[in-house]
Amino acid sequence: MVSYPGVTIVTGAAGNLGSAVCGLLARRGCKVVAVYREAAGPHAALAAPPALVVRASDLADPACSANVAAETIKALGRIDGLVHTVGGFAMGSVAADGPELWDRMWRINLVTAANMIRAVWPAMQANRGSIVAIGAQPALRAGAGMAAYAGTKAALLRLIEAAAEEGKSHSIRANTVLPGIIDTPQNRAAMPDADTGQWVTPEQVGEAIAFLLSEAANGISGAHLPVAGRG
């Protein structure tokens, strides 16, 4: 039987992907810590409530990220896994868009991840741990209008690679998944004429995340796993 991290923090738990991951891990026996920015409760689609809900106003604030880890330790005694689904997308021209776009993408796509990894690291050092972050295919090669988004997602890949190297002596693994377009109501509304048969579902991305978290992937660290769709 595949073993999963006992206490796993999932950031962005109110989102389509975050809620899918929370439900999947809970069904497989994890104690899920669902981190929400919104005031709403756990997603209605979850089969069971998370073991712990933590409100986090802005994970780009180091104190906010540290509080998530502290609340988890206080309630559950340990941290074994982190799934960081927080991120943002915005198109922007290299020639026309200035610091505001870059700063927004930098904070949500990179700084939040760096803060959360730093916050959970001491607890994982004590026990071992597994970290999975959500990258993006444009991090490997950017398209037009994606400089800020792709650039900050590429920086996230470098962060995860460094974490994987630094985690070797502490049995901490770090990986990313690189989804294609995820089939969500928001993406369907934004691209009404797209061929959604080429997209991936939140559940498919969640399965890849669960694999990388699990002991079945014990030999994998510093990897970027494409979840590209049903071509």
Determine the pLDDT at residue 26.
94
Q: In the chain, which residue ranges form alpha helices assigned H by DSSP?
A: 16-27, 62-76, 99-106, 112-127, 147-167, 185-190, 202-213
Q: From first to last of the 231 residues of the chain, give the pLDDT tens digit.
A: 778 889 999 999 999 999 999 999 999 999 999 999 876 555 555 556 799 999 999 999 999 999 999 999 999 999 999 999 999 998 898 888 889 999 999 999 999 999 999 999 999 999 999 999 999 999 999 999 999 999 999 999 999 999 999 999 999 999 999 998 887 778 888 788 887 778 889 999 999 999 999 999 999 999 999 998 764
Distances in Å between the alpha carbon of 189 and those of 176, 200, 231?
27, 16, 21
Contact at 8 Å (CB) between 25 and 2?
Answer: no
- Write down the pLDDT at residue 231: 46
Tell me how far CA of residue 78 lies from CA of 32, 70, 135, 212, 219, in angstroms. Answer: 12, 10, 26, 20, 22
CB 84 within 8 A of CB 132: yes
What was the pLDDT predicted at 35?
A: 96
pLDDT of residue 46: 57
pLDDT (tens digit per residue) in 65-116: 999 999 999 999 999 999 999 999 988 988 888 899 999 999 999 999 999 9
**pTM of the predicted model, to two decimals?**
0.94
Whole-number Å distance between alpha carbons of 213 and 220: 10
Which sign does the torsion angle of CA 9, 15, 17, 21 carry? positive
pLDDT at 43: 55
Alpha helices in 41-91 (DSSP H): 62-76
Average pLDDT of the residues of the chain = 91
In this predicted structure, what is the pLDDT of residue 47? 57
Q: Domains plus CATH for the chain? A: 7-227 (3.40.50.720)
